[in-house]
Chain A
Amino acid sequence: MSAPVLEVQGLHVWFELERGGELHAVQGVDFSLQPGERFGLVGESGCGKTTTILALMGLLPPSASVAGRVLLDGEDLLARGEETVSPHRWTDIAMVFQGAMNAFNPVKRIGDQIAEPMKLHGVSDGRAARQHVGELLERVGIPATRTSSFPHEFSGGMRQRAAIAMALACEPKVLLADEPTTALDVMVQAQILQLLVELADDFDLTLVLVTHDLPIVAQVCPRAAVMYAGEIVEIGMTDTLYHDPRHPYARLLFAATPDLSGDSEVVSIPGTPPRLDREIAGCPFAPRCDRTFAPCGTVKPRLLTTGPGHAAACHLNDPALKAAS
C-alpha cells in the first residue's frame, strides 16, 4: 500500500442550536483513502455523511465547530481553519454537491461557469481556460462545441456531467460526490456512475461517493463505511459488508433494501435514529437492534477490527464481553 492521500482522524462536528444546546452531528470519524480509490460513505438521512465531507472541504456553516484532523498528503487541513483549507479546496480536494446539476446560473454559459474556479485559483485564464474547459467537457462526455450552451439547453444528465467537469476544473486529487445520481433516471444514473468510475481509474482520482443507496455503493465502491448517528459503525470491503456484515445495522440495512431478484423478504428496521443533541448511553443502535445483550444499553461500543481491513462498532465482536454475558 502506498501512502494514503487523505486521512481523517477523530473528526467531530457540533452544530450550535438556536434554541440552545448542541447537536453532535459527527462523533469521531476515522478513515483513510488510497490514491485512486473509490470509497463509499453510506447511511440514512441525518447520519452525518454529508456533514463529514463538508468538514473535509472546510465548508461548514459558522454555527458548526470542528475537531479532529484531516490530513491531505500529511498536511492537516483543519490545523488553522480557513487559512489551511483554502489553498487546497478545489485544487486538491473538490466536491460535487447534492443537486449541483440544478445549481448552475441559468443566465450564464456553461463554459464560463466551469472556467470560474480556474480563474479564481489562478490555474488558467483567457484562451487557455477556454481550451481547458473544452477538454474537461470532452472528458465527461460532452462535445467541446457545447461550451457556449446555457444550462437549460442541457438535459439533466448533461448538467450533472457539467457539474462534475466543474469540480474537476482545477485537477483535484480527491473528488467528493454527494448523492451524485439521486433524482436522475436509472439509465442516466448508470451513465454517470460509469463516468465516475472511469475518471477515478483514468486519472488516479480518489472518489468518495456519499449516498443513501447501498446498491450503488455495492456496484461502484470496493470499500465503504456505513454511518449511523454520526459514527462509522462498520468499515471495510463492500463485499464483506454484504456477505459477512459485523454490525447489525449494516446487515439490516442490506435486508431493508429491495433487490432485483425479489427473492428475499424486505425488512423494515423498527424505530428511529437517536437524537444527537444529547449524550447517548451505550450503543446508539441498541434501541432498534435485534441482537442486543447486557452491555449494549450502557457501554458504548468502539470500532474493533474484525478482520483484515475490516472493523465494526458492535459488542458482538468483542469476545470478552460476549463471554461475560
Chain B
Amino acid sequence: MSVNGTPLLEVENLVTHFPVPRGVVGAMSGKPKRVVRAVDGVSFALREGEMLALVGESGSGKTTTAQTILRLVKPESGTVRFEGEDISSVSGRRLRALRHRVQLIFQDPYESLDPRFRVQATIEEPLLVHGEGGRRAEREERVRDALTRAGLTPPELYLDRYPHELSGGQRQRVAIAASLVLDPKLLVADEPVSMLDVSIRAGILALLDDLRRGGLAILMITHDLSTVAHFADRIAVMYLGRIVEEGPAREVIAEPRHPYTRALVSVVPRRDPRAAADAQILRGETPNPVAIPPGCRFHPRCPIAIPECKTIDPELRAPAGARAGHLAACIRA
C-alpha cells in the first residue's frame, strides 16, 4: 500500500466507445451513427502489491479496459487516476512519463519479441526509448538486473541469445524483463500464459506472484478462472462492458453472488474427474455490445431474472452476508 493509503490506480466510471463503420454508402444515405459500448461504466481500484484479475469472455470489455488504462485508446468519459493524477486526458511528455510507470506484457511471447534483436538489445530498448539508464555500463547493469528479476539467471547466459534460441517460457521471461527494466509500478498482463505449455505456466505465474510480493501492482487480463483462484488477490468479472461482480478472488469463486459468475464458475472443467460440477450452461453467446439490453444487461440470458430486471440497471453493491469488498450488480443477489 502506498504511503498515504490512496490506491495506485483508481478507475472511475470509465466509458470507452468505438464507432461502428458505416461505410461511404451508409454515411451518405444518412444511416445512423452507431457505437460499440466496449467499456460502459467501469470502476475499480488497484493497490501496490496487489494482483487484480479482470475476467470475462470475448466482448466483455476486459481488454479495452486495459488498453484505456494504458492510454492506447482514449476514453469517452470517466477518470483513470494513477498515483493520484488523472491520466485519462494527458498527452505528450506526461503521457511518456506515464508509459514509464505502467508496462504491458503481451499474450504471445513468440510475436512480442523482435526476432532480430538479441536479448540484451530487447531489454535495453525501453531504456533508450525513454532516454534513461545513462552510460552504457549503467544500462548494462540494469539489463542484467531485469533479467535476474525475471528469473533468467545468470544473466550472462541469455544476453547474447536470439529469441529463436529460447523456449516459450524463456521468451515470456525476456518480455517480462523488458517491462521491468524501467522499474514500473504497474504491470498489465494480458493472458500472460495462455500461449505457453501447461508444464511451464506455473513458473511464469509464480514469477508474477513474486513481483507482486515485491510491491508491484499487477492487472491480469484473463479468461481462466482456475489460474485466478491460485494467483489473484482480487477478481473483477466483466460482462458486456461492466463489472458485474468484484471481490476477493477465492471468495468470489467459492461463493459467487451474481448469476453470471455462478454460471461461469460452474462450467470451468475441473482436473479431478470426480469433481463434476452441476454445470449451468447458459444458452447463446454474449450479445453484441452495439445493442446492450436495457435494464440489467444480463437479463436475457439470466436463469433467475424477474420482470424488474428488464428495467432496473443494477449497481455494484454488497450482497447480504458477503465479506468486505465483495460486490455484485444484481438486484437478486
Contact = CB atoms under 8 A, between A and B. Distances in A.
B199 A242 contact: no
Contact of B274 (A216, A239, A252): A239
A187 B264 contact: yes
Given A155-B285, A252-B199, A269-B199, A186 B223 contact: yes
Contact of A242 (B200, B265, B271, B285): B271
Contacts, number: 123
A256 B198 contact: yes
B333 interface: no
Contact of A219 (B205, B226, B253, B276): B276
B265 to A, nearest CB: 7
B229 A259 contact: yes
B273 A260 contact: no
Contacts of A238: 273
Contacts of B231: 258
Contact of A260 (B199, B268, B279): B268
Contacts of A258: 201-202, 205, 224, 226-227, 229-231
B213 interface: no
A212 B198 contact: yes
B269 A218 contact: yes
B286 interface: yes
A39 interface: no
B274 A261 contact: no
A216 B224 CA distance: 13
A14 interface: no
A307 B171 CA distance: 41
Given A190-B279, A215-B226, A256 B270 contact: no
B2 interface: no
B288 to A, nearest CB: 10
A90 interface: no
Interface in B256-306: 263-265, 267-276, 279, 281-282, 285-286
A256 B223 contact: no
Interface of A: 44-45, 155-157, 185-191, 193-194, 212-216, 218-220, 222, 238-239, 242-243, 252-254, 256-262, 266-269, 272
Interface of B: 57-58, 167, 197-203, 205-206, 223-227, 229-231, 249-250, 253, 263-265, 267-276, 279, 281-282, 285-286
